[in-house]
Amino acid sequence: MHTKQNPLKKIHRSSEKVDIIKDEKRRRVHKAFLRYHDPKNWPILREALINMGRADLIGTGPKQLIPPESAAEKSMQAPKGNARGGGGPGSVGKIPNRSKSPQGNARNAAGAIPRGKPVVRTGGKPAAKTGFGAGVGKKPGSR
């Protein structure tokens, strides 16, 4: 349960009431304004500023909040219609089927690592001895 009182000021009976944002779209806009420097948020902010009548804050000047839409952003906008990109033989953007790749991981069809194959570490320090008796009976400073 939320008190609907301003948490930035001392809370008492006559505290200032604040609106609680529950709508997902409004929450995203608020979060985008907090992170206005992130280019991922610029499309959301452009739309919100235009809707608020503050298109004067969009531009490259020192008094503007975010830059105008670039040519790269315009070209990256998804075309209306099929979300998968059209498809067809040899189409760009097709995700290859990696399940039949012979050089994939070292697992067999059942998903288990086959016995007899060594487990290869890909870097870092060698594994430390752990468990009962690790390092017992050794002199300090010896390996």
Burial class (CB in 10 A: 0-12, 13-18, 19+), 73: middle
Q: What is the pTM of this model?
A: 0.45
Measure CA of the first residue to CA of the last residue in the chain; give whole Å.
59
Which uninterrupted H or E stretch holds 31? helix 24-34
Predicted confidence at residue 5, as pLDDT, reads 85
Please list the pLDDT of the chain residue by residue as tens digits (143 residues): 467 888 888 888 888 888 888 889 999 999 999 999 999 999 999 999 999 999 999 999 998 999 998 877 777 775 655 555 555 555 455 455 555 545 455 556 666 655 665 666 566 666 666 656 555 666 666 65
Would you kindly state where each structural domain of the chain is located, as residue ranges?
24-76
pLDDT at 3: 78
Q: How far apart are alpha carbons 132 and 39 in whole angstroms?
A: 53
